[in-house]
């Protein structure tokens, strides 16, 4: 292996010397050798990245995408990209205004809160649904806690209101 490499290098050197002699005998000059230390060995990074990307980009010719199985015995849709999924439609929400009007206790010692939900009066007890997924989480004489879970509760004071967004 080493002998083959040495023979190849020597034969290339001899060929370069013969070509140089021919050029000089024809009245030309041998071009100067490039300075390899200052010469940029690699092209611009942007061009390299574009070339590499073009090598790995798979795109089928348009005529192959429109063919059907009867047009060619070599027909396949295996290499065609799958269709893109449709984006999910945005979730529709509705704003609901809840006013805390007060509380009352019945003879069974059950407390209920008077709430005005978008203008409609409701009497709601603790853990009961107010509207959609909003529940009355906690109740005392001055404030109520409204939310869908314990993590996202919001307090509403006596004779005050709050606006909530609920899914439709």
Give the pLDDT score at 83: 85
Domain parsing of the chain, residue ranges: 93-167
Conformation bin of residue 73: beta by default, left when phi > 0, alpha when psi is -120 to 50? alpha
Give the pLDDT score at 20: 75
Name which residue leads in pLDDT, 73 or 161. 161
Average pLDDT of the chain?
80
Percentage of residues of the chain with pLDDT beyond 90: 29
Give the pLDDT score at 73: 73
Give the CA-trace dihedral at 73, 74, 77, 78, to 10 degrees. 140
The pairing of strands 143-147 and 134-139 is antiparallel
Burial of residue 135 (number of CB atoms within 10 Å: 0-12, 13-18, 19+): buried
Has residue 136 got a pLDDT over 90? yes
- Sorting pLDDT into bands at 50, 70 and 90, what band is 44? low
Give the pLDDT score at 38: 60
What mean pLDDT is predicted for residues 87-111?
Answer: 89
- Sorting pLDDT into bands at 50, 70 and 90, what band is 143? very high
Give the pLDDT score at 159: 92
Supply 125's token pair: 């007890």
Cα–Cα distances in Å, from 129 out to 25, 82, 108, 161? 103, 44, 21, 17
Residue 46 and residue 96: Cα distance in Å, rounded?
54
What mean pLDDT is predicted for residues 157-166?
Answer: 91
**Cβ atoms of 135 and 147 closer than 8 Å:** yes
pLDDT tens, residue by residue, 56-89: 776 666 665 566 666 777 777 777 788 889 998 8
* Tokens 């611009």, residue located: 44
Q: What is the CATH number of domain 93-167?
A: 2.30.30
Q: What strands lie across the sheet with 154-157, from one edge to the other? A: 129-131, 134-139, 143-147, 154-157
**Cβ atoms of 102 and 112 closer than 8 Å:** no
Residue 59 and residue 72: Cα distance in Å, rounded?
19
């Amino acid at each position: 292996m080493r002998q083959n490499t040495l023979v190849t290098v020597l034969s290339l050197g001899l060929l370069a010397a013969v070509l140089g002699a021919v050029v000089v005998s024809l009245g030309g000059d041998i071009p100067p050798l490039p300075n390899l230390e200052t010469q940029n060995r690699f092209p611009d990074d942007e061009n390299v990245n574009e070339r590499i990307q073009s090598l790995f980009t798979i795109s089928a010719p348009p005529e192959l995408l429109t063919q059907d199985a009867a047009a060619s015995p070599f027909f396949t849709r295996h290499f065609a990209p799958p269709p893109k999924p449709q984006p999910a439609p945005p979730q529709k929400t509705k704003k609901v205004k809840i006013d805390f009007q007060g509380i009352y206790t019945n003879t069974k010692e059950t407390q209920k809160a008077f709430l005005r939900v978008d203008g409609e009066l409701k009497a709601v007890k603790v853990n009961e649904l107010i509207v959609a997924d909003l529940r009355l989480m906690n109740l005392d004489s001055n404030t109520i806690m409204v939310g869908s879970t314990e993590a996202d509760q919001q307090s509403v004071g006596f004779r005050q209101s709050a606006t909530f967004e609920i899914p439709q």
